[in-house]
């Protein structure tokens, strides 16, 4: 998988958005893509890219594999890791963040926890998880599979799905719907921009909503 599967132009358009705008766009077409309970650990960072999916397991047969998959993650991808929400052991620390920065990863999202967060913050590396905890996962968990569907929160994520995350939260967009969601998002941005302009002009709230609806409708024509 390459980050180019989505396309640099589309990624650039998504990077202008917010998780809230993308969430509204997903709602508009009935897609559940909002990833609950996973938040930024490095405030002020944003990440956007295709998912490279990783499933961890407590099975003894997996304990020999912990982070060897990193050599297979392409530049521009997001490491999307399902540790089944475990908060008593970490799957990621600042050494892996340094590796990710040096190899151009777009960020990491974990249904679980990370550790060594000060080091990751010093790198300004986008890290999204359920929190932090110091206990290592080495010899406790291992990689069960890569590049198969996983769950993050209550969202199923497939390899190559677009993941976007910022200070508000994280969302996943199915790869087959990326362009459709983007077009809807552009309409929402136009609406919101018109609402802001109307507020700045001193309009009533009714006129604010009307201006927003008119701007959104104009873009769709």
What is the DSSP secondary-structure string of the chain?
--GGGT-HHHHHHHHTS-HHHHHHHHHHTT---EETT-EESSTT--EEEEEEEEEEE--GGGTT-SSGGGGGPPTT-EEEEEEEEEEEEES--HHHHHHHHHTT--EEEEEEEE--HHHHHHTT--EEESEE---B-TTT-EEEEESS-EEETTEEE-TT-EEEE-SS-EEEE-GGGHHHHHHHHHHHHHHHHHHHHHHHTT--HHHHHHHHHHHHHHHH-
Is residue 52 located within the same domain as residue 84?
yes
Pairing state of beta strands 127-129 and 107-114?
A: parallel
The CATH number that applies at residue 164 is 3.50.30.40
Q: Which residue has the higher pLDDT, 193 or 51?
A: 51
Average pLDDT over residues 97-124: 98
Is residue 186 located within the same domain as residue 157?
no
pTM of the model: 0.92
Domain count, the chain: 2
- Local confidence band at 193 (pLDDT 50, 70, 90 cut-offs): confident
Is residue 168 located within the same domain as residue 187?
no
Is residue 109 located within the same domain as residue 169?
yes
Is residue 191 located within the same domain as residue 130?
no
Is residue 66 located within the same domain as residue 129?
yes
Is residue 18 located within the same domain as residue 76?
yes
Is residue 73 located within the same domain as residue 151?
yes
Range of the domain at 146: 3-173
**% the chain with pLDDT above 90:** 80
Q: Which of 135, 150, 173 is the last residue of a domain?
A: 173
**% the chain with pLDDT above 70:** 96
Is residue 95 located within the same domain as residue 127?
yes
Lowest-pLDDT range of 5-14, 26-35, 46-55, 206-215: 206-215
Is residue 138 located within the same domain as residue 167?
yes
First to last CA, the chain: 36
Is residue 62 located within the same domain as residue 158?
yes
Is residue 167 located within the same domain as residue 204?
no
pLDDT of residue 64: 85
């Amino acid at each position: 998988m390459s980050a180019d599967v989505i396309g640099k132009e589309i990624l650039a358009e998504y990077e202008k958005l917010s998780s809230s705008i993308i969430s509204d766009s997903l709602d508009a077409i009935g897609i559940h893509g909002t990833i609950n309970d996973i938040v930024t650990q490095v405030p002020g960072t944003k990440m956007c890219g295709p998912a490279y999916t990783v499933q961890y397991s407590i099975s003894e047969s997996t304990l020999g594999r912990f982070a060897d998959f990193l050599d297979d993650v392409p530049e521009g991808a997001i490491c999307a890791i399902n540790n089944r929400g475990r908060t008593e052991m970490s799957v990621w620390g600042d050494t892996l963040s340094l590796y990710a920065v040096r190899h151009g990863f777009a960020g990491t999202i974990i249904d679980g926890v990370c550790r060594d967060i000060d080091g990751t913050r010093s790198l300004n590396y986008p890290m999204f998880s359920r929190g932090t905890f110091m206990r290592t996962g080495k010899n406790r968990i291992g990689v069960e599979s890569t590049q198969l569907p996983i769950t993050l929160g209550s969202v199923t994520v497939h390899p190559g799905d677009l993941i976007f995350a910022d200070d508000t939260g994280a969302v996943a967009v199915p790869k087959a719907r990326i362009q459709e969601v983007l077009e809807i998002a552009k309409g929402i941005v136009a609406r919101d921009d018109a609402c802001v302009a109307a507020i700045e002009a001193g309009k009533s709230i009714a006129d604010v909503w009307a201006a927003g609806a008119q701007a959104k409708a104009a873009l769709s024509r």
